[in-house]
Structure 1
Amino acid sequence: MALLYHISIVSLYTFALWYDQKYVHIPYPAKEFENVPFNARAIFFTFWTVVLQNVYFIVALLNDIFGTNSATKKPPLIRQFKDILFSITLSAALYVVLVFWTFYIIDKRAIFPSDEIEKIFPMWLNLIMHTLILPIILVELYLTKRNYPSRKTGFSVAIFLTAIYAVYIHVIYFKYGIWPYPFLYVVSWTTKGMYFLGSAALGMAFYSFGEKLDAMVSDRNSKVTYTNGTKKIH
């Protein structure tokens, strides 16, 4: 079942990313956006998250074939890589869904500066990128077993990826004078710093929440057997 699920999700994300690049042409407010890779999508954290999820499910698919999904204390390297990727992917999905829809409900102009842009962006694609990424990874949480990485490892990887994104969009700003989100143009540098630090803190909180979710699901799915009076959980 896991194999079929992983094939389906890789197909879904690959099609969504291909369609976005091929057919969705957004009229950005400045010509400088044309200099940003992937039709300027690379400046948005949502795009990074969808790509990350697709990479995760590709790795999960390879693990189905060459690794193992069994509960084991010494999993193969590809399984270890998959487990670390999962922890980051889950926290990123939680972040994107919460932040996107919070901004959309409060002031959707912070997400879509004009109704024209919102109409150009297909509803089904918006649904995949900003909503389905969460239930998809939650199904994966229930469907497969994993050895959650240590908090030190998880936090280190999460902080590293967050830092790469933050540095990248600042490089884009200082080179081309553009930001991914309209509100960043009008707030002070102090507020910008607070926003990025707050985002990092929120990401860490979501990582811890994902860790707890995994522990709950793992305990629920564990089977207990007794051999010669010794309790074994597997």
Structure 2
Amino acid sequence: MPRESPYLQVVDALRARIEAGEWEVGDKLPSRSRFAAEYSVGQSVTQRALERLIIEGLLEGRAGSGTFVRTPRRRMRMVRTRRRVPNSGNAFRAEALEHGFAASWDARTVAHTPAPDHIAARLAIAPGDPCVMTRYEFMADGSPAELSQSWESMALTADTPVVLPEDGEMRGAGVVARMRSIGITVASVLEIPRPSRANQAQANLLGISVGSLITEIERTYLDSDGRPVETADLVIPDSRYEIAYAFPIE
């Protein structure tokens, strides 16, 4: 079994018991040794599990007193919807305007990046074809909210004013508006969400623990002919944001 598996099992078990109300807000939890015996693990494993739940905001440690259940940190809902706020720019900015949080982000773009096999398949290009790759770190009200790695084929955008997503007059305008400015109509988007656990790099950027639950979304924008024009991998921390999909009935 993976080395962290017992630790993650204890975290999930304790989280479920807390959320089920086995201990009320303000209650003191049993000792590490009791949990260690109950789950047949070492005390270091139960200590890590409790520390993880403190990071998530379910518990608080009081020096010399023990570990107590606290009022849970508010978990925001991130709604994925067809309805867009006019002139809202990129998708994250649209979510911010719709749900009332302040959006900001850092972006790092590298042009002429050869497309890896899996990205080439998603963009319907040949492996190694030149792409523009942009890494984003999104913030909501100053807290890490989302990571994204975006890929666009340079066959579509080379020698145009929008070849770099975060430069020029169309900076921050989003894929739909940028493509429209060069005569490409984005008509649909495909999103594939997958549950996962944070690796070290993701945990460092999102301010969470290694192994924390995350949602990974594979997103691809397509034009009116069904041609992929951009694909991205989004990473969202589960402890802070839940993903909801809302669509009108046609």
TM tier relative to shorter chain: under 0.3
Bigger Rg, structure 1 or 2: 2
Larger RCO (alpha carbons 8 Å, 6+ apart): 1
Q: TM-score under structure 2 normalisation?
A: 0.19
Structure with the larger strand share: 2
Structure with the larger helix share: 1
Q: TM-score under structure 1 normalisation?
A: 0.20
